[in-house]
Structures are given as structure tokens and as C-alpha cells.
Amino acid sequence: MTYLLLRILIFVVIFGAIFLGARRIWRDWKGQFKAVDQTRRERDLRERKRSDVIELKRNKDGVFRSGESDEDRH
């Protein structure tokens, strides 16, 4: 009987350690991905403010063009 309880306790401890380790890895990765996303977002916002960047918009035909309309180009 004690052998069975000891065996169950060992399995619980092993699976608990694996679960907590996997959870910690998941949280670390999640935090790292958030930091990378935030860095990219800040960089994109800085680049949008540059004068040499053209903002493209999708027209009705599905083609991306600069903000000027078709009438402005003719």
C-alpha cells in the first residue's frame, strides 16, 4: 500500500514539475513576443512619420495605389 502511494506521489511531483516548467516557458515566450511586437510597432510608427514614405490605399479594383484618386492623376 505504501509502495503504491509513494509511486503516485512521485508521478504527481514529476508531472507537476513538467507542468510548471512548460507554463513558465510559455509565459516567457509570450512576454518575449509581446516585446518584439511592441518594438516593431514603435519602429513602424516612426517610419510612417518620415516624409519619403507613401501611404498606399486599396482602390475599388483591389490594386494598392497612393492616396491620390484616379481623377487627380489625369
User: pLDDT tens, 4-45?
Assistant: 999 999 999 999 999 999 999 999 989 889 999 999 999 988
Which residue is associated with the grid cell 490605399?
A: 57
Sorted by sequence, the CB contacts under 8 Å of residue 70 that are 6+ apart come out as: 59
The model carries a pTM of 0.47
**Cα–Cα separations (whole angstroms), residue 11 to 21, 23, 24, 41:** 15, 18, 20, 45
Distance in Å from the first CA to the final CA of the chain: 91
